[in-house]
Structure 1
Amino acid sequence: MIVGAVAGVLRRFSPAQNSLYPRCPIYEVVHLKCPGCGGTRALAALVQGRFIEAMHLNALTTLLLPIAAAYSFQWYWRFARSGVDRWPPVSHAAVYAALAASSIFTVLRNLPLRLFQ
């Protein structure tokens, strides 16, 4: 129900056209895009079926969404079967890999475009 509500809000109130959503404080202060910049707009694009646009807005969010969904489903499955209300454990390697991917993504998205031409 929560996912449906969030999808409905994103579909009804586009982040690109509404001031309902907060602005990134990191971008406002240092004018560099953090790993989450564009994530809400990417989710709104996904809700409307525009995958390419979502990748352009925030590839990290778009690519990690299925992993987050699978992890959430695993929690729900454990909770429904045994009533255990704890998140499944995450290995240290997975945490370090996510931090590394996030750091690399942040550096790459803030490089001047002329380096890639």
Structure 2
Amino acid sequence: MDASRTPAAAPPTRSPHAAPPAAPVRVSRARRLVAPVLTLAGVAAAFAYVGAVDPNEPHHYPVCPLFRLTGVLCPGCGGLRSAHAFAHGDLVTALGANALAVAGYLVFAAFAALWLVRAFRGRPAPRLALGRSAWWALAVIAAGFATVRNFPIGSALAP
């Protein structure tokens, strides 16, 4: 045998005491549905509370700190009034209170429905992985919404 040539390494052998490789675990449908159902129940409870306790009445909820200190509407201002109207099925009033929040409700509803269907079918949960440019785009949309609604031209977007 030539000294410059080394013998090929033998494949690693499993120890006779090592556990066999784990088989994929089958999870029941009920267990797969726990997370999406509990999430939807939590959101439904929050909407039920906001639907029952009117944010248009004074002293039920705190005032937005930015609005209280500066008089400037943030992107979230009117969100509770929007949720209250949305919970009562008044989409026009909800859009008038905070159109960005209504868009968020609809995006969440679509995501939750997809999550529920995928869990029911035994598929992995959908991933909400946004790239850096998508996060920047969302930030620009929120900042633009907040800016426009604070000027007379965007008064239709103000709550």
- The TM-score with structure 2 as length reference comes to 0.61
Tell me the equivalent position of 1:53: 93
Tell me how far 1:115 sits from its aligned partner.
Answer: 9.3
Percent identical across equivalent pairs?
26
Structure 2: segments with no counterpart, 5+ residues: 1-40
Tell me the equivalent position of 2:138: 98
Tell me the equivalent position of 2:77: 37
Tell me the equivalent position of 1:63: 103
Letter in 1 for 2:108: A
Tell me the equivalent position of 1:8: 48
Taking a change above 3 Å as real, the CA distance of residues 89 and 109 of structure 1, as seen in their structure-2 partners, is same
Q: Are 2:66 and 1:26 aligned? A: yes
Taking a change above 3 Å as real, the CA distance of residues 69 and 16 of structure 1, as seen in their structure-2 partners, is same
Taking a change above 3 Å as real, the CA distance of residues 23 and 76 of structure 1, as seen in their structure-2 partners, is farther
Bigger mean CA deviation after superposition, 54-63 or 17-26: 17-26
Greater per-residue helix proportion: 1
Alpha carbon RMSD of aligned pairs, Å?
A: 2.8
Tell me how far 1:58 sits from its aligned partner.
Answer: 0.6
Tell me how far 1:112 sits from its aligned partner.
Answer: 2.3
Taking a change above 3 Å as real, the CA distance of residues 72 and 22 of structure 1, as seen in their structure-2 partners, is farther
Structure 1: segments with no counterpart, 5+ residues: none
Deviations 1:33-61 (A, max 9, x none): 00000011101101101111111111111
**1:75–1:88 Cα contact (<8 Å) kept:** no
Partners of 1:63 and 1:50 lie apart in 2 by 14
